[in-house]
Amino acid sequence: MAEKNTANIGFEKQIWDAACVLRGNMDASEYKNVVLGLIFLKYISDRFDDKYQELLAEGDGFQEDRDEYTSEGIFFVPAGARWCEIAAKAHTPEIGTVIDDAMRAIEKENKRLKDILPKNFARPELDKRRLGDVVDLFTNIQMIEHGSEKDILGRTYEYCLSMFAEQEGKRGGEFFTPSCVVRTLVEVLQPFKGRVYDPCCGTGGMFVQSAKFVENHSGNISNISIYGQDSNPTTWKMAQMNLAIRGIEPDLGAYAADTFLDDRHPTLRADFVMANEAVICGLTPEKACNIKEFAA
């Protein structure tokens, strides 16, 4: 494992640029699962470790008590799946298997993450030397000067999503709406409280911006409830991870599904509907009750 240094990688673009150096010939559509999966794993592991050290210092022996973490909205990361253990094996031939096993162990301990995390790091076509280098990259990130880790990792996740969408061209629009468009929608709708619904939510950008809007206007994020769905299973999983990093608990349905063919919220009476496509026009009158709507 590379020694943890004191250099601040910091800003999202710097992290993206560093990660791209390690990409090699892998397609953007494949590489995004590597980078975004590791960002998520680093985030939940670091959050867990902060609480672990706090409990350890208290000296009551509760540092392995799952309830101590889940009661504060922190994902429980079992031994063997923690970042320090993954980082220690970054440059071993089995690093892909180590990460896959960590993802499975975390899903087992946290029902919200069941069948959501990527578990294809052991595949033969993924260069394990480069994978180890990406692990080192995130191990070495020092973000103290750039805000809270939750904020910087959330911004990094979102920035990487936008860059992968750009690299994938037209197809990228299927999972990512430009932030400027999303901010416009949110500023028009002003979702201070109530049920916010996105029938084609992509990776959850509308919900992230809604939460930011509430926080920036001194509102209470607990006053809004998030609902949505997406037909692409990979995109649906990325949305779950994106929102988890932001501390947002959504209802995106039990699985990925097309809104028209398999509505996962048939009885929902939403207060706000946001969509970047004309899909909003297909909503039932019942669901559109009391909606302020705006479609890009």
pLDDT profile of the chain (296 residues), mean per 10? 42 70 71 83 90 95 94 93 96 96 96 91 90 87 50 70 68 57 81 90 84 80 90 88 86 91 92 68 45 41
pTM over 0.85: no
3-state SS, residue 295:
strand
Tokens of 121: 């790091």
CB 160 within 8 A of CB 36: yes
Residue 233 near residue 256, CB atoms below 8 Å: yes
What local confidence, expressed as pLDDT, does residue 88 receive?
A: 96
At residue 285, the pLDDT reads 43
Distance CA 81, CA 100 (A): 9
CA dist 239 and 208 (Å) reads 10
Query: Cβ–Cβ contacts within 10 Å for residue 124, how many?
Result: 7
